[in-house]
Amino acid sequence: EVQLVESGGGLVQPGRSLKLSCLASGFTFSNYGMNWIRQAPGKGLEWVASISSSSSYIYYADTVKGRFTISRDNAKNTLYLQMTSLRSEDTALYYCARGVGLLDYWGQGVMVTVSS
């Protein structure tokens, strides 16, 4: 069974940093591109970043470019999102999702709240 479990969220002050993790199981993680998508409270979905299976290509939304870094450790079956210079508008539920284009499995999400 494919499982994606996010962790690392919480309450953080504006300007601070936070690192999210997504632990994958039930499939060969190193064969799949991965994504981060977020959803602000009561709002729609916003794609944040994507990384290929071997980390050879990476894409970011303009809203996070230069502040967020997506990475992965295929030996640990884990996807990461390093978030710096956090803003109130980054407050959202952050999902990891499997696949380039397909986004066929999603985790349950982890909440990040940016507030003083």
Partner 1 sequence: DIQMTQSPSFLSASVGDRVTINCKASQNINRYLNWYQQKLGEAPKLLIYNANSLQTGIPSRFSGSGSGTDFTLTISSLQPEDVATYFCLQHNSWPYTFGAGTKLELK
Residue 43 DSSP symbol: S
The nearer residue to partner 1, 25 or 108, going by C-beta atoms, is 108
Stretch that binds partner 1, among 13-21, 71-79, 83-91, 93-101 (CB under 8 A): 93-101
Binding to partner 1, residues 1-30 (CB under 8 A): none
Residue 101 found at the interface with partner 1 (CB under 8 A): yes
d(C-alpha 34, C-alpha 49), whole Å: 8
Residue 45 found at the interface with partner 1 (CB under 8 A): yes
Q: Among 107, 110, 112, 114, which residue sits at the site for partner 1 (rule: CB under 8 A)?
A: 107
Tell me the Cα Rg of the chain.
13
Residue 44 found at the interface with partner 1 (CB under 8 A): yes
Residue 111 found at the interface with partner 1 (CB under 8 A): no
For residues 13-47, one letter each, b for 16 or more C-beta atoms within 10 angstroms of the residue's C-beta and e for the rest, the string is eeeeebebbbbbeeeebeebbbbbbbeeeeeeeee
